[in-house]
Amino acid sequence: MRYLLKHPVTGVADLLADPIETWTTISDAHTAERERRRPQCPYEPNLGWEQQLHDALGVSWPCDETRESSALWHQVISELEAKGIRAGPESFQWWNDGDAGLVRAIWCLTRHLRPRNVVETGVAHGVTSRFILEALKRNGDGYLWSIDLPPLERFWHQQIGAAVGDGYSDRWTYIKGSSRRRLPGLLHDLGQIDLFIHDSLHSERNVRFELDRTWPALGPKGALVVDDIDANWGFRSFTQTVPGRVSLICTAEPLRPDLRRFNKKGLFGIILKASTAQF
């Protein structure tokens, strides 16, 4: 509303350009606001989640890939700072960039699972996107589709995907729009995906919408990663519908304390479709 009051002509024009998307966004925001009145879900993080993840994947620990991820992390953050972008919590409006723990987990999943089709929702500065694309490049195979509905304020549009940079056009497609409108069609076209990352609107309604649709399309050795699970009950309720799967609750590692979170860090979750024995 503040943006519309300051920029009534361009704001109304943007809204009228895609009224269905506008209505979807308003509806989702209203639902998310109602959900915030619920008590927080009492998630308990898994201590030593990285070793547990690698054990489930059948990969030795410590893992050389974590060192490569750390080197890339410092490179990406330095590149953003050189562009005048302060990465981390609430650096893209009120949204966060992918933190060091999240992108390290996604890096290892991408390198070890060697997915062909990767889908993510939510882009912002594109820190997570960059890690996926770099890992796919090193694998020598794989493609990323990123679904994201940019903010109404046009100021932020120039920062979308800023961390990705050049050199990935052969492995990346950016799909503008909400996951509610774009994800079902993409999954239908792809048939099967191997890795999915949720980092869009963090409401239980939206998390369940995305996970309920990606799970049937997920390959037999695929994985789901859900960021900011402490923001809603979606991860908990979904894992209860797929018992017997390997799921991990992981502590985030933001660049600076996120004072909105119960632990000043946040949590993310991982679900592996195959059991340990199947790896």
pLDDT tens-digit readout, 150-160: 876 666 567 68
Rounded mean pLDDT, 23-42: 75
Q: Are 224 and 214 in contact (CB under 8 A)?
A: yes
Contacts 24+ apart (CB under 8 A), 176-180: 176/148, 176/149, 176/150, 177/21, 177/147, 177/148, 177/149, 178/21, 178/24, 178/25, 178/28, 178/147, 178/149, 179/121, 179/147, 179/206, 179/209, 179/210, 180/24, 180/28, 180/206, 180/209
CA distance 238 to 196: 14
Output the pLDDT for position 3: 42
- Alpha-helical regions (H) of the chain: 2-6, 8-17, 19-35, 49-57, 64-82, 100-113, 127-139, 179-190, 204-217, 234-239
Q: CB under 8 Å to 100, separation ≥6 — which residues?
A: 70, 73, 253, 254, 255
| Tokens linked to 125 | 């500065």
Output the pLDDT for position 277: 38
Q: In this predicted structure, which of 3-7, 25-29, 42-46, 205-209 has the lowest mean pLDDT?
A: 3-7
| Residue 9: band (very low, low, confident or very high) from pLDDT cuts 50, 70, 90 | very low
Rounded mean pLDDT, 25-43: 78
Residue 17 has a CB neighbour count (10 Å cut-off) of 9
pLDDT at 124 over 60: yes
Q: Could you give the domains of the chain? A: 2-278 (3.40.50.150)
Give the residue among 187, 250, 243 at the shortest CA–CA distance from 52. Answer: 250
Q: Are 44 and 249 in contact (CB under 8 A)?
A: yes
Tell me the per-residue pLDDT of 55-101, one tens digit each, with 9 for 90 and over.
Answer: 999 999 999 999 999 999 999 999 999 999 888 877 766 677 899 99
Give the residue among 112, 102, 160 at the shortest CA–CA distance from 135. Answer: 112
pTM: 0.89
Rounded mean pLDDT, 260-279: 81
Output the pLDDT for position 135: 98
Phi and psi at 138, nearest 5°, equal -70, -30
| Residue 195 CB burial class (10 angstroms; 0-12, 13-18, ≥19) | buried
Tell me the per-residue pLDDT of 165-223, one tens digit each, with 9 for 90 and over.
Answer: 888 999 999 999 999 999 999 999 999 999 999 999 899 999 999 999 999 999 999 99
CA distance 242 to 246: 10
Output the pLDDT for position 5: 44
Residue 149 has a CB neighbour count (10 Å cut-off) of 23
